[in-house]
Amino acid sequence: LTSLPESGRAALIEEYGAPLAVREYPVVEPQPGSILVRVDRATICGSDVHTWTGKLAQVHDIELPIVPGHEVVGEIVAFGPGEQVDSVGASLRAGDRVIWTHEACGHCYYCTVERNGTLCENRRLGFLQPARKAPHFHGTFAEYSYVWPRSGRLRVPDDVESGWASAASCALRTVLNGWKRLGAVGIRDTVVIQGAGPLGLFATAVAAVGQPRKLVVVGGPESRLEIARRWGADLTISVDEVGDAEERRQLVLEATDGRGADVVAEFSGAPGAFAEGIGLAALNGRYLVVGTVAGPPQEILPQMVTRKNLSILGSLSADVDSYYDALVFLRRFRATFDWDAMLGRTYSLDDLTEGMEAMRDYTEVKAVLDPALG
């Protein structure tokens, strides 16, 4: 039996927007079905930044302090009582690297009848749990974390680097879940991706492997658009250079034989992005909405939906099937896309606030945490 570490360090949000505090918490025995992991790499998601700035507190009840972070690869330290297998039956051992899902209850209407754990009425998001409650390490910006008893979990293949798998554990699985909602995107389709952050860039890669007729990415800054072009965008439209939405629409029309895009996918979350996307869609178009999870009302003309015969599809988060697809995708296309291009500086727990600031200010696509760094 592995002996547990006595305690570990965690970065905490004690006050919105203030520097993260680093505190020590006791490490407790994992409960049945749970796994204690040592955080190998964590990456910062936009939601962590929104949590830190206080934006997420508008839509969730949050009791500070909390340990933020939910994109992560953990190395197994100890198992709680129960079967030591992942969600597809592969056996797990101490030292294996795993990624895992938020926790769905498994017994509510959405879990059982709709079979969609992302809509679970009792869904538990680790990074929003109060840090005072055991096992304290609910988020992943810490030396340790816990795979919760009902969380889906998957072993990370040896040839998938931890930084990539960490980014996949929220950003890429979210994109792939949305892409499944869209259905087939054919070579005749023109595609517009709104947003060039982690989701938008992963979406660019996912769209590119399907070789659509035209792939356009609208976003910024230029450093991100450069990656988008390298990853398969035929055209990028900079929101910094073309500040007017109507001008951007004209550029999309020019690129799509005057019709607009057959598929528009929103991964930006920018105020006005949804309304803009409706305008970019072609007749009979499909509009996938993923990036907008908070923010003010936006003005649209509902008749545009009717008259364009649009399908509008929302997609929230992802279940373990999309995590599985994300690992497959990273492996299958690792020679095609330089996944490292998305990753920024690697921070320690002590300077992680700088990583949060870099994400907030768009100077990095994905900041990385290595809690073993001193």
For Zn ion, the binding residues (CB under 5 A) are: 45, 47, 104-105, 108, 111, 120, 170
Q: How far apart are CA 352 and CA 328, in angstroms?
A: 30
Neighbour count for residue 185 (Cβ, 10 Å): 21
- Cβ closest to Zn ion, residue 47 vs residue 101: 47
Q: How far apart are CA 160 and CA 334, in angstroms?
A: 9
Peptide bond into 26 cis (omega under 30): no
User: Minimum CB separation from Zn ion for residue 45, in Å?
Assistant: 3
- Cβ closest to Zn ion, residue 170 vs residue 255: 170
- Cβ closest to Zn ion, residue 86 vs residue 103: 103
- Cβ closest to Zn ion, residue 92 vs residue 288: 288
Longest Cα–Cα distance of the chain, Å, equals 66
User: Minimum CB separation from Zn ion for residue 317, in Å?
Assistant: 8
Q: How far apart are CA 145 and CA 70, in angstroms?
A: 10
User: Minimum CB separation from Zn ion for residue 122, in Å?
Assistant: 5
- Cβ closest to Zn ion, residue 121 vs residue 241: 121
User: Minimum CB separation from Zn ion for residue 139, in Å?
Assistant: 11
- Cβ closest to Zn ion, residue 108 vs residue 312: 108
User: Minimum CB separation from Zn ion for residue 101, in Å?
Assistant: 12
Cβ burial of 359 (10 Å; 0-12, 13-18, 19+) is buried
Residue 76, C-beta contacts closer than 8 angstroms, at least 6 positions apart: 35, 36, 37, 92, 93, 94, 95, 96, 97, 98
User: Minimum CB separation from Zn ion for residue 104, in Å?
Assistant: 5
198-209 and 173-182 helices, crossing angle to 10°: 50
List the one residue out of 221, 226, 222 whose CA is nearest residue 204. Answer: 226
